[in-house]
Amino acid sequence: MQLYNTLSAEERAIMIDDAGKQRLTLSFYAYAQLPNPTEFRNELFLAWNPLDVLGRIYVANEGINAQLSLPADNFYAFKDSIEKYDFMKDIRLNIAVEHDDHSFLKLTIKVRDKIVADGLVDETFDVTNIGIHLKAKEFNELLKNPNTIVVDMRNHYESEIGHFTDAIKPDVDTFRESLPIIEEQLSEHKQDKNLLMYCTGGIRCEKASAYFKHKGFENVYQLEGGIIEYTRQVKAEGLKSKFIGKNFVFDHRLGERITDDIVSQCHQCGKPCDVHTNCVNEGCHLLFIQCEECKTAMEGCCSSECVEVIHLPEEEQKAIRRGIKNGNKIFKKGKSDVLTYKNNLESHSVFVAEEPKTTVKKEPKMLRQFANARVKKIYIGKGIHFYPKANIGQFLIEENEIKVGDKILIKGSTTGEQQMILSEMFVNEIASAKAIPGDTCTFKLPFRIRLSDKLYKIIE
Looking at residue 370, its pLDDT comes to 33
> What are 267-276's pLDDT values in tens digits?
998 899 999 9
Residues contacting residue 95 through CB under 8 Å, at least 6 positions apart: 24, 25, 26, 228, 232
The Cα–Cα gap between 318 and 48 comes to 35
Tell me the mean pLDDT in the region 313-318.
89
Q: What is the largest CA-CA distance in the chain?
A: 84
Question: If you average pLDDT over every residue of the chain, what do you get?
Answer: 83
pLDDT the model gives residue 233:
95
How far is 351 from 298, CA to CA, in rounded Å? 11
| Amino acid letter for position 254 | L
> Would you place residue 2 in the very low, low, confident or very high pLDDT band (cuts 50, 70, 90)?
low
User: Distance (Å, rounded) from C-alpha 447 to C-alpha 224?
Assistant: 66
- CA-based R_g, the chain, Å: 27
Is a pLDDT exceeding 90 seen at residue 257?
Answer: yes
Q: Which is more confident, 1 or 406?
A: 406
Question: Strand, coil or helix: what is 100?
Answer: coil
pLDDT at 52: 94
| Type of residue found at 378 | I
Tell me what pLDDT residue 344 has: 54
What pLDDT sits at residue 373?
Answer: 40
From the candidates 199, 273, 302, 306, which is the catalytic residue? 199
Output the pLDDT for position 296.
93
Q: What is the pLDDT of residues 54-103, one digit of tens each?
A: 999 999 988 999 999 999 999 999 999 999 999 999 888 988 877 778 88
193 and 186 Cβ atoms separated by less than 8 Å: yes
Of 189-193, 234-238, 342-346, the poorest mean pLDDT is in 342-346
In angstroms, rounded to a whole number, what is the distance separating the alpha carbons of residues 175 and 178? Answer: 5
Cβ-contact 443, 397 below 8 angstroms: no
Average pLDDT over residues 29-42: 91
Per-residue pLDDT at 360 exceeds 60: no
Q: Angle CA(50)–CA(249)–CA(309) in degrees, nearest 5?
A: 95
CB environment 153-185: b (16+ within 10 A), e (fewer): bbbbbbbbbbbbeebbbbebbebeebbeebbee
**Window from 5-9, 210-214, 344-348, 380-384 with minimum mean pLDDT:** 344-348
Tell me the pLDDT tens digit for each residue of 205-246. 988 999 999 999 999 999 999 999 999 999 999 999 999 999
Handedness of CA 292, 293, 296, 298 (dihedral sign): negative
Of the candidate ranges 5-14, 176-185, 343-352, 376-385, the one whose mean pLDDT is the lowest:
343-352
Say whether pLDDT at 12 is over 60.
yes
Known active-site residue 199: yes
* Residue 29 contacts residue 202 (beta carbons within 8 Å): yes
Q: What is the pLDDT of residues 93-146, one digit of tens each?
A: 988 877 778 889 999 999 998 888 777 776 677 777 889 999 999 999 999 999
Q: Give the rounded percent of residues in the chain with a pLDDT score beyond 70.
A: 85
The DSSP call for residue 422 is: -
Q: What is the pLDDT of residue 356?
A: 30
Structure confidence at residue 335 (pLDDT)? 62
How far is the C-alpha of 5 from the C-alpha of 107, rounded, in Å?
Answer: 6
Q: Would the CA dihedral through 42, 47, 50, 54 be positive or negative?
A: negative
- DSSP state string for 219-256: SEEEETTHHHHHHHHHHHHTPPP-EEEEE--SSTT--E
* C-beta separation of 455 from 395 below 8 A: yes
